[in-house]
Chains A and B, each alone.
Chain A
Amino acid sequence: DAKTTQPNSMESNEEEPVHLPCNHSTISGTDYIHWYRQLPSQGPEYVIHGLTSNVNNRMASLAIAEDRKSSTLILHRATLRDAAVYYCIQRPTGTASKLTFGTGTRLQVTL
């Protein structure tokens, strides 16, 4: 299964931007980059995904390197409710593609 590398943990102050990095050096041309987060005692929540171009939605922005071997999830203004484990996932396309979670980054947000 495709493997991504993320820092184990990161800290941020509330209302500051957060940049969560992810390396996916084995990515192939048709693999999508997905980000999910999991708040305590909840199921994972979809955040954003992309292929090549940078993507924005109401939750976050995804910046994808030109060679696609890394990406960064950007939370523009962190709040206490953003404290969660963030998972970066390299997902193949195809009829039997799987969403395989790595160990993720635990984000702590402090006042």
Chain B
Amino acid sequence: ETGVTQSPTHLIKTRGQQVTLRCSSQSGHNTVSWYQQALGQGPQFIFQYYREEENGRGNFPPRFSGLQFPNYSSELNVNALELDDSALYLCASTFDEREQYFGPGTRLTVT
């Protein structure tokens, strides 16, 4: 049982809008990573936070930003939404360098 939760489950936005996705880490985990999974593809790493600091970033533009809070929950913010941002967004938490546990994801549709 992973214990990682994400909200909302589904979301529909219009091109140009902004969106915030939320992730609650598994208890005791201090690291959270975000991934984007386009339809029919494998997940792509967006960025990672360790103890509230960004600890690595994938090949995503600056309009993708994040936060990690003192309780290790996290947010992913995407500004100026584009149609190609439509995807399943996955959050994964871990403690230090141990294995990552994934949440169920947020399905974002941009129209």
Q: Are the chains A and B members of one assembly?
A: no
Residues of chain B whose beta carbon lies under 8 Å from any beta carbon of chain A? none
Residues of chain A whose beta carbon lies under 8 Å from any beta carbon of chain B? none
